[in-house]
Amino acid sequence: MAERKLLDVLDGKTISPPPIWMMRQAGRYLPEYREMRKRAGSFLDLCYNPDFAVEVTLQPIRRFGFDAAILFSDILVIPHALGRDLRFEEGAGPLMTPLRADEIGNLDIGTVHSHLQPVYETVHRLRRDLPAETALIGFCGAPWTVATYMIAGRGTPDQAPARLFGHRHPEAFASLLEILAAASADYLIRQIEEGADVVQIFDSWSGVLDQATFENWCVRPVAEIVRRVRQKYPDVPIIGFPKGAGWFYREYRQKTGVTGLGLDWTVPLDAARELQAGGAVQGNLDPTRLIAGGRALSEGIENILGGLGSGPLIFNLGHGITPETPIEHVEAMIRQVREGK
């Protein structure tokens, strides 16, 4: 097998220059993606049609030669597979019918694999079509983050509806998180079976939780996913990305069992170096520096490489790339990371 640098870093090795990929690298900043999105008709059709999903996953690999491709899908395919309605509206993002406490017992985990069969086919075809040296990343949303959308029916500024739900209906909420952890673990296992080299768990809303709820709603469900995946595939690396976790990053890797730690852009580099002592870290360029380009971009890259380049590092953004990002800035970033200029 050709050397996949991303896997070497997750194994604890220091590689210079570090491997690089971007969260949301297959997306709206690319004209070829926008064309494919138009042809697909809807965002869900883009996710569930393997022809489209394979193509948009490969687009940034062809254009930029990233060291990893990440499956093109969405974190909310899991509740959709559990029988909840889901639609995406321009300007409004994902919309669902808010989940009531008395409906949680009706969620059927038995429907997950048949519903997600097109996604598994996409993963299988991607591993076949990707360059041998390019790692393939599968992913899921963390139970807490997925639950926030199921309960509110949409994204909200601080996910207060889900936090209130958890406080008012603790048993029902614990049951929901258990269901989501089991379904997500099965989903990741099937992605690995189809060819994913590594999987990432996105907890995009972990930063709105206090200490007790972070432990119960963020750490414990992710630890359960990791336990289930490791039972079947003990050697497949798992990246955890608890965006906004701040102080709670310190023990997240140890408590959840993830291999690599995805860092958002607010994590100071001295704190990131301490976290790196426990294993690979990923990140953490502010996406607005990539939009701005020029000195802001080059200084941001320089600081990360200078601060974290002497340990196991996967260079990435501190969250996903945004649609207004100029392509030439992405090219400049890759050039600087790989060539030092």
Do 50 and 72 contact (CB within 8 A), yes or no? no
Write down the residue that tokens 């004209």 correspond to.
31
Rounded Cα–Cα distance for residues 163 and 151 (Å): 10
Evaluate whether 230 touches 266 at the Cβ level (below 8 Å): no
DSSP H/E element including 242: strand 238-242
The first and second tokens of residue 281, run together, are 């870290």
Q: Position 114: which residue type?
A: S
The kind and range of the H/E element at 265 are none
Instruction: Please give the positions annotated as active site.
Output: 24, 28, 37, 74, 149
What three-state secondary structure class fits 70?
strand
Please calculate the CA angle 226-229-235 and round it to the nearest 5 degrees: 95
Residues facing 260 on adjacent strands:
239
Long-range contacts of 34-38 (CB under 8 A, 24+ apart): none
Query: Can you name the residues that pair with 68 across neighbouring β-strands?
Result: 135
Which tokens go with 270?
């001295």
